[in-house]
């Protein structure tokens, strides 16, 4: 299963990509929304993990651009940010399935990713 992580923080990129990679997922990493679009166009992921504050677009704008690509319209998306849930409520859209706060709790991240990328769900979708 392919995951596209979009976060401009190199430490978060390394932490999340290595953790999910060790769990058997293929993780593509982008630091900007425009980089993510190029990656998703070449290899549509099964899940997006998107930071709410990127250098070129905010998280909802990035997700909107990614979902416009062929094969990406229905992919689940997890929002991540250092904002607390109250502040995040103002920038999140219903397009995000989940919201995780930074610093990321790796157990919560794993459970969330498994929930959206379980084999049963993948088989039921197509």
Distance CA 126, CA 123 (A): 5
Distance CA 63, CA 52 (A): 10
pLDDT tens, residue by residue, 8-39: 999 999 999 999 999 999 999 999 999 999 99
pTM: 0.89
How confident is the model at residue 1, as a pLDDT?
86
How confident is the model at residue 125, as a pLDDT?
35
What's the CATH code, domain 2-120?
3.40.50.2300
How confident is the model at residue 83, as a pLDDT?
73
Q: How far is residue 37 from each of residues 97, 103, 107, measured CA to CA in Å? A: 20, 25, 28
Give the pLDDT means over successive 10-residue stretches in the chain (126 positions): 96 97 97 98 96 92 96 95 67 80 94 86 36
What six digits make up the tokens of 126? 């197509």
Alpha helices in the chain (DSSP H): 10-22, 33-42, 59-67, 85-88, 106-117, 119-125
């Amino acid at each position: 299963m392919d995951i596209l992580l979009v976060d401009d923080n190199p430490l978060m990129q390394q932490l999340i990509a290595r953790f999910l990679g060790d769990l058997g997922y293929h993780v593509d990493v982008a630091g900007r929304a425009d980089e993510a679009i190029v990656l998703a166009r070449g290899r549509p992921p099964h899940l997006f993990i998107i930071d709410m504050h990127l250098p070129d677009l905010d998280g909802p704008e990035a997700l909107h651009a990614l979902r416009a690509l062929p094969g990406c319209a229905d992919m689940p998306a997890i929002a991540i940010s250092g904002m607390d849930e109250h502040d995040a409520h103002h920038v999140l859209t219903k397009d995000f399935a989940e919201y995780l706060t930074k610093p990321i709790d790796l157990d919560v991240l794993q459970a969330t990713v498994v929930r959206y990328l379980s084999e049963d769900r993948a088989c039921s979708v197509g």
